[in-house]
A and B are shown apart, each in its own frame.
Chain A
Amino acid sequence: MTTAVLALTPGSIDVMLLIPCPWCGPRDQCEFDYGGANVKFPDLRHSPETSIDDWHKAVHLRENAKGEIREIWYHRSGCERWISTTRNSLTHEFSEPSAGDEEESSRNCDAD
């Protein structure tokens, strides 16, 4: 069964995404809900600087890069927090969460 073992080596073929939660450590994707691209939405309060175009960009337009993408996940069956991650959309590899990510995660959580 060498092939099966090889196939399961991290970074080759993943059985499921292994998402690095900054609070709980690496956990299977089935514990999470996907929250989409990590987008900075315009201020909900009517600020004169916010235009339709800002909303259009935030709600609709996506980089959709073949490479590193920044996104958020909800750790439903874990710490029940929103976390932000950087993942490669071609290889499915996650970058190590940085302190900045954590800060951002808790900000997203507040915003929710």
Chain B
Amino acid sequence: MRKSRKVKYSGFSLLRNSLGSNFWPNIFPTPELRPHYDIIIVGGGGHGLATAHYLSSRFGETNVAVLEAGWLGGGNTARNTAIVRSDYLLDASFELKNLALQLWGTLGSELGFNLMYSPRGYIDLAHSDGELEDFILRANAMCLRGAEAKILDRHQLQKRVPQINLSESTRFPIVGGLVQEKGGIVRHDAVAWGFAKSAVEAGVDVVQNCPVTSFEINAGKVTGVRTNQGVIGCEKVLISVAGASSEVARLAGLLLPIESLNVQAFVSEPVKPALDVVVNYNAGLCYISQTDKGEFILGGATDGYPSYAKRGSFSSIEDVIVRSIQIFPFLSGLRLMRHWSGTADIPMDGNAILGSTPIENLYLNSGWGYSGFKATPAVGLLMAELLTQEKPPDLIAPFSLSRFEAGNLIDDSGTGPYTWLH
């Protein structure tokens, strides 16, 4: 069996390789597929690769394949605005994201890969006294569960974010905010590559350009997958395909409570450091941070209707830009450099769907919409536990697919079954 060469990155290796010729080996060689695996993971985004990493590193399971239709982390992993935080109100939502936030802290050294986790703080802006009351409720709930959260009044907000426009003559004046200092940014591509490197070194097969086109299902039990490289047998399958969840589940005859919507993001030209925190504007939606390179990254809500086009309406771009300029008027002087879209899988209650399906040995990690990047390490760990242990982990129990039929929805925003409003 092929064993990939272990690569250790260090200051020394960087120096050596930048001086002479390039000795960096290919850390993702194309593996030869085995006829049978214990576990097949469909989808080589951050979530699928994290699952492979934890399967091998925590549960000693290496007879695993990750099958990716395109290239590693080329889906929403590469398209998100890289924000991590755990400022959620409902227990189930909070616990998952807070586990992830704890894992982000040490993940870089665990993987031997610089993920550039930058806990620079995440600030949610309130635009009315009522909204601020709501934030206080959320901050208290977070503190009670052992996380850190602080409410900032206008004065404190101005001190924390000197450039913020607190004028009361704007359309939606800002009255305060909730700050979680451990929230921030993680380098998203590095997350996919770091997890993949670790899994490959442990003996997992990570296969690119290998779309799963159907499932082998016998007597209600999945026994393999069909790909462009033929049929591969397996004991268990995890579907982890984000925006393609409905399409892939349909191959197994499953209908999901999910719609796929387009979400856009943009970056400006780079300028000198001006913003050292992530800021989220809540009248409508606009989240802003500045990268280490100096670009401002902007994101907003969905385009408002189902779409697989991976390109969106100009009206959404305008919405986000208008809001960003209300918070930081100086942004109007910058030009946008790049703009892209991703397909977000949004369930009817806006929360993820994790766990078993009506088909035996077929498992699902889906419904993360445009908020699943922050959860990546927790999802990986919990999916690995789900796939190897008798008892499914407690943290994912509330996120079962069957919760919809039972009426146990986890609707953090209280929006109802309208995916385009979540």
Contacts and interface: CB of A to CB of B under 8 A. Distances in A.
A24 interface: no
B350 to A, nearest CB: 12
Interface string A74-106: 000000000000000111100000000000000
A10 B35 CA distance: 47
A15 B314 contact: yes
B405 A56 contact: yes
Contacts, number: 68
Nearest to A53: B405
B178 to A, nearest CB: 29
Interface in A25-53: 29-30, 34, 36-37, 52-53
Contacts of B172: none
A64 B246 contact: yes
Chief secondary structure at chain B's binding surface: mixed
Contact of A62 (B247, B257, B304): B257
Contact of A90 (B308, B315, B348): B308
Given A52-B405, A64-B259, A16 B308 contact: no
A91 B348 contact: no
Nearest to A67: B308
Chief secondary structure at chain A's binding surface: loop
A13 interface: yes
B311 A13 contact: yes
B256 interface: yes
A89 B309 CA distance: 7
6 contacts: A16-B315, A29-B305, A62-B255, A64-B259, A66-B260, A89-B308
Closest 7 CB pairs of A and B: A64-B246, A60-B257, A60-B404, A66-B308, A61-B255, A56-B405, A16-B313
Interface of A: 13-17, 29-30, 34, 36-37, 52-53, 56, 59-66, 69, 71, 89-92
Given A59-B417, A89-B260, A89-B306, 8 more contacts: A15-B314, A34-B304, A36-B419, A60-B257, A64-B247, A71-B305, A71-B306, A89-B309
